[in-house]
Amino acid sequence: MKKVKIYITLKSGVLDPQGKAVQTSLNTLGYAEVQEARVGKYMELKLDDHTDAEKQVEEMCAKLLANPVIEDYQYTIEEGVTQ
């Protein structure tokens, strides 16, 4: 099996109210060094071995998993993963 790890983040320049709230909370807890926080999503997929994972995952991200208007994505693919 192939294991895919996908990281989805808001594009730089897109306002992240949730990240802003996290940053404020961290500052409140005394972590004054936190200048910015951005909140994203992490997903894991398991794919059949015989698939062209790179091509398929690229398509999945563009079509559904990320919204290209506001989000960027990155992923890693691990080969030969067992259950």
Partner 1 sequence: MKFAVVVFPGSNCDRDMYHAAKDALGEEAELVWYQSANLSDYDAILIPGGFSYGDYLRSGAIASTSQIVADLKRQAEKGVPILGVCNGFQILLEAGLLPGAMLRNKNLKFICHFEELKVANRDTMFTTAFQQGEAISLPVAHGEGNYYCDDTTLKQLKDNNQIVFTYTNNPNGSINDIAGIMNEQGNVLGMMPHPERAVEELLGGNDGLKIFKSIVNNWREKYVTSA
Stretch that binds partner 1, among 29-37, 47-55, 63-71, 74-82 (CB under 8 A): 63-71
Tell me the sheet residues that pair with 73. Answer: 8
Q: Which stretch binds partner 1 (CB under 8 A): 9-17, 26-34, 46-54, 74-82?
A: 9-17
Task: Using the Cα atoms of residue 15, residue 18, residue 20 and residue 23 in order, give the sign of their dihedral.
Answer: negative
Mask: binding to partner 1, 13-42, rule CB under 8 A, as x and -?
Answer: -xx-xx--x---------------------
Query: What contacts 37, CB < 8 A, 6 or more positions away?
Result: 16, 19, 20, 22, 23, 26
If binding is defined by CB under 8 A, does position 70 make contact with partner 1? yes
